[in-house]
Structure 1
Amino acid sequence: MPVGFGVSLVVRGQTVDPEGMLATLTRDVTLNNIDVDRVGDVVWFTADELGDLSVLAAPLAGWWQQHGPSVAGGVALRFVGPDGVTELTYSKPELAVEQVQRHINVDSGQLYGPGEAPGPIRRLTAALLRRTRNGFTASELLIRDEGSLLCVALAGRDLDDRPRSLEFQAFNPAHDDYDPDDDDGYCLVTEHHVPVVQGLVALRLTPRVLRLHLADGAARTWGVRSAIYPVTLHIENHEIEQLRLQLRRLFSVGGDRLPVPKLELG
């Protein structure tokens, strides 16, 4: 079943004509069998697999950065996915591709034919479960090492096919571009694109569950009902071992300079 997302760029309230951006993508979309459909100034990208859409991260990030996004929020790269519209308004330039890639991963949804979308009972059940329990079930492990930044992400979908994710990020102090004055420590990000820095009291990995003990501030920021946030792991055993190794590595890159949570990774 194809997956896809829509994207547009809004600069100070005006949607930008995407024609120039599309011209730079001709080769990538052809080689990766990505279908392109333009509706006004919103462009829809569709592919057979989510991985095929990853080639769009760098050119979309470049398009966004060319217009000078700032903390003031006047330049927004907007994505249309299963949860509606989300947007990126600012990123450190060196993290822009990573941020766009994360939005593509989260906002790319299954494109349903007539009668194929989750029905009202599944949607209601999923909504009730989200209200009564924290966490989610992860079916995919993503590890990205960009040299200056290490990211470990878990992703899955609820019964109503809404994407869920949890991403750990940390700068690598050994990289040439590392700036200690710009490093507040590890960061956690959910599918709602809400980051929290130094947000863990403890982290425990059991054979099939990654259990986060969130700091009070992190729990409030995410709006979750409990400080305990479990992620059930429906991934292969070798992926769980990779998760263990990469989390241990991620929480060691800060050395003694930055505090880390209590770790029980086995």
Structure 2
Amino acid sequence: MLDTQETNPSAAPKRPQFRVPEIFRHSHSLLALETTRNGGVGTGPYSSLNLGTNTDDNPDSVRRNTELLFNEAGIDSSRTVRSQQVHGTEILHATSPGALQGYDAFITDTENLFLLIATADCYPILLFDPLNRAVAAIHAGWKGTAGHIAPQTVESMRRAFGTRPETLLASIGTGISGEAYEVSLDVAKQFPASCILPPATKGAGPRLDLGAANRMQLEEAGVSSASIESSPFCSFRDTGSFFSHRRDNGITGRMLSIIGLNQSGGNPL
């Protein structure tokens, strides 16, 4: 079962449901979470907690869902950083709030600044350096993963904050599982053979385990395997809990993964 906030079925709108990665649950003055598709407001393919600003959903519903989530989690809406992601490898050292363009990862050691990553099959990766009190949020689709965005972000934290990879805590959040992610041969060739699964059926393409690829890259960057948590869920297969761009033919919502140094408290229970 998902480890989420409880909702009141009779409430309208419903409380947003999200999961707190276990690896961060007891970290002092840190907020980290991953939303599901449940709670909030919304209908049709965007039902119901769509937080994507680049979808065809009613913008008022997205704004309301964002407001509900931030209120539930204790996030100041004026202290967030997000970007229109482009499936690249650009990393921003964020020092102030903003709605930006072209970044797929953020790092910061600024207190009460919350980093937001939107996904609906791509992998959200959250990093926490407890010694230097710094965090990162990464959007890792196949292009970003092929470009080694996760280890590049670890290196950015090392340069900016003195982060030692072996002290990092990492959460690889919910994305499309290898069993469900058919790709072309050209895409598959960009990844190690250990991350490639055989075709599900005759005539189909190979399948790519993006979660495993990102775990491998983090470990190669020096992050301890024991300090990396991988979500057990699949955005494609867990239909009732997550949006999936591939499953829903692009007409779907987005989840948010959020991390920030939180002076006023820790993770929402």
TM-score (norm 1): 0.26
> Which of structures 1 and 2 has the bigger CA Rg?
1
* Between structures 1 and 2, the one with greater helix share: 1
TM-score (norm 2): 0.26
Q: Considering Cα pairs closer than 8 Å and 6+ residues apart, tell me whether 1 or 2 has the greater RCO.
A: 2
